[in-house]
Chain A
Amino acid sequence: MAAEFQQQAIALAKQQSVLGWLTAAREQGQSAWQSHAWPTRKTEAWRYTSLLPVENEQWQLSDAASDALPQTALSELIEIDAYRLVFVNGQLNAELSSELPATLVSFADADADQQAVIQQHLNQVADQQTHLFTALSTSLLQQGVLLHLSKNQRLEKPVYVAHINDKANAKVTNARLLIVLESGAEAQVVEHFFSTDDQDRGWINAVTECSVGANASLRHHRINLESEQALHTGSVHVALAESARFNGFTLANGSRLKRIDYHIKHLGSGSDLQLNGIYLPRHKQRVDYHTCVEHVVPHCTTTEVFRGVIADSAKAVFNGRIHIHQDAQKTLAEMSNRNLLTSDQAQVNTKPELEIYADDVRCAHGATVSQLNDEALFYMTSRGISEAEARVMLSFGFVNELVEGVELEALKQWLRPRIAHMFGQTDQLTRHIIHE
């Protein structure tokens, strides 16, 4: 029998008004959702992350905020020249969104052809039998975004999808993004999640599915900066066809519950994956990244780099798996995870795993956990820099390389000060790492 929360979610689904053409998908989602065994502490995938914050709440479906958004929330939108879709509590806010190209549409506005594309691709890349919260996402499917580029099509600007939680206490928001790139198409996408209030207790369940066709290229960024009381369960699912490229960047602070999964499959030979991630939990925040990369076919490459700076009594989990199937000869795969604990109470559980069933492959993985380097701290103070500022500079320095690796210049410029302020709360402490 499904756990209490699973039934609660089904009851919520019944309250929704739904786009008729999504009904079949929702029903499949609901049956997948109910057939999942609810995780316990013994469930490997949830060993270090408790679902109690989900279970211990009477959830309501989120709705659009009735009042105007606080001005501060708007200033938190990333300043980037992009096709912009802004969702507030899960509802598309037309005022804050920009004009969209024909290739980019909210599910509610999808024409018959686009509906067909959605129906054809939904849950093809994401496996809702494996991913619990993907099944929930489909169960509650109502709003969503489709980006569909046809053969060799390139968008002039990046796509920016923002999800704002506003006074969303005890409300669950379902976010869904479906990206379908036909062969040779190219796109850049930024997904951004944040709360208007730093005590907001809303929950966002966000599923992104990307089907990247032959020779197509997707640059995808996911910025998770919700309030520390927020809940986030999210996943990014990617299928790479022959010679396709996926360049992923993910940044997250921590919160009461934050679980982000990446599941990427090399399905066509010659495909290339670069995935960079930064997690920066502090205070009592939690963050849990699970990544799984499957090499199904030969001649594909993966480079995965995750770095975390864990402060105060925060806890982080990194579980990175690279699975090299029997046929995936000539695979090149590298995964590295480095962690910096800036306090004695900070914790990380890191588990990089390689599963190799092919014999002619080159793979490497490694994980480190370290503390601030005393020698470096002294060196900096011996140059007149206060210890507090030196700590901030060293913490930032730990992730700097990955920040610099963000190719979307406007995003990089936007990120630097935000990241800096997670390490040092005053300008005095961050002024020397924020520069043009």
Chain B
Amino acid sequence: MLTIKDLCASVEDKEIIRQLSLEVKPGEIHAIMGPNGAGKSTLGNVLSGRPGYEATSGTIDFKGLDLLDMDPEIRAREGLFLAFQYPVEIPGVSNMELLKAAVDARRSHTGQPELSAIDFMKMAREASKAVDLDQSFLKRGVNEGFSGGEKKRNEIMQMMLMEPSLCILDETDSGLDIDALQVVARGVNAMRSPDRSFIVVTHYQRLLDFIVPDYVHVLANGRIVKSGDKSLALELEAKGYSWLEDEVA
């Protein structure tokens, strides 16, 4: 699904990702943990193609395609989805308009027939129900005036409708109450399939009780300093990151 080899990436000429390698196979869930400022969001931004986040060396293969060679919209149409840590508000553009445009773009790129307005509406309503957002959210401006938790649920709703093959969740659990956390986890688990992979960035072991990862990686200082199975998350919860940083140093 995704093979990152020796990736170095910088923002404003500052190197943030250093020689990072990661392999994600179809169907797998990888959790990425690590201290603030380690480069987790930067990795997500590089993967999704945000302007200003420049890969200076290394390669990224996504489903046999050279990811770094693709514009952000093509990456998305090919099935890469990033649920943002801080989703942006877009007043004046309704959630529904954005969703329809997004899903139409993805479907036409993959040769699927376009959904009628009515069918799409039905799907969107179901998705909003699945993430426990009232239908009125479909008509509102994208994220406009949404609470923190509502924004995160809105990201998951978009993810459900776009049916990506690789989902990157950047701290989707931050700021969620217990119920919302369950909602998000249920959404992710419902989408699990042998040909869909997840990269879940989180600070909290708690999320991984609900979304059980195959691998847990620790990202510090722009590189993966330790990988393990889900028990690593428990160990981090107990010990923090400093022992790892010591270990690496």
> A-side interface residues toward B, CB under 8 Å?
373-376, 378-387, 389, 393-394, 396-401, 432-433, 435
**Can you offer 15 A-B residue contacts whose CB atoms are under 8 A?**
A376-B93, A378-B50, A378-B72, A379-B90, A380-B93, A381-B71, A381-B73, A382-B72, A384-B102, A385-B101, A393-B101, A398-B92, A400-B92, A401-B92, A432-B101
The answer to whether A376 and B88 touch across the interface, beta carbons within 8 angstroms, is: yes
B91 contacts the other chain (CB 8 A): yes
Determine the distance from Cα of A393 to Cα of B90 in the docked complex, in whole angstroms.
Answer: 10
Contact with A along B64-79 (1 / 0, CB 8 A): 0000000111011100
**Chain B nearest Cβ from A165, distance in angstroms:** 32
B117 contacts the other chain (CB 8 A): yes
Please count the residue pairs between chain A and chain B whose beta carbons lie under 8 angstroms apart in the complex. 87
Determine the distance from Cα of A396 to Cα of B49 in the docked complex, in whole angstroms.
Answer: 25
Which one of A373, A374, A385 lies within 8 Å of B105 (CB-CB)?
A: A385
The answer to whether B82 and A382 touch across the interface, beta carbons within 8 angstroms, is: yes
Q: How many residues of B contact A (CB 8 A)?
A: 32
Interface centre among A378, A389, A396, A398 (most CB of B within 10 A): A378
Looking across the interface, which residue of chain A has its beta carbon closest to that of B105?
A384
Which one of A378, A379, A380, A399 lies within 8 Å of B92 (CB-CB)?
A: A399
B141 contacts the other chain (CB 8 A): yes
Determine the distance from Cα of A397 to Cα of B142 in the docked complex, in whole angstroms.
Answer: 10
Which one of B82, B92, B106 lies within 8 Å of A397 (CB-CB)?
A: B92
The answer to whether A384 and B117 touch across the interface, beta carbons within 8 angstroms, is: no
Which one of B50, B97, B105, B142 lies within 8 Å of A433 (CB-CB)?
A: B97
The answer to whether B77 and A384 touch across the interface, beta carbons within 8 angstroms, is: yes
The answer to whether B117 and A381 touch across the interface, beta carbons within 8 angstroms, is: no
The answer to whether A393 and B71 touch across the interface, beta carbons within 8 angstroms, is: no
Chain B residues contacting A374 (CB-CB under 8 Å) are 51
The answer to whether A386 and B73 touch across the interface, beta carbons within 8 angstroms, is: yes
B162 contacts the other chain (CB 8 A): yes
**Chain B nearest Cβ from A278, distance in angstroms:** 12
Chain B residues contacting A378 (CB-CB under 8 Å) are 50-51, 72
Chain A residues contacting B203 (CB-CB under 8 Å) are none
Chain B residues contacting A379 (CB-CB under 8 Å) are 84, 87-88, 90, 142
**Given A379-B88, A397-B141, A432-B104, A384 contacting B93 (CB threshold 8 A):** no
**Chain A nearest Cβ from B203, distance in angstroms:** 23
The answer to whether B48 and A384 touch across the interface, beta carbons within 8 angstroms, is: no
Known contacts A378-B51, A382-B49, A393-B93; 17 additional CB pairs below 8 A are: A374-B51, A379-B84, A380-B101, A383-B102, A383-B162, A384-B76, A384-B77, A384-B101, A384-B106, A384-B109, A385-B73, A387-B71, A394-B90, A397-B90, A397-B93, A401-B92, A433-B97
Chain B residues contacting A375 (CB-CB under 8 Å) are 88
**Chain B nearest Cβ from A303, distance in angstroms:** 18
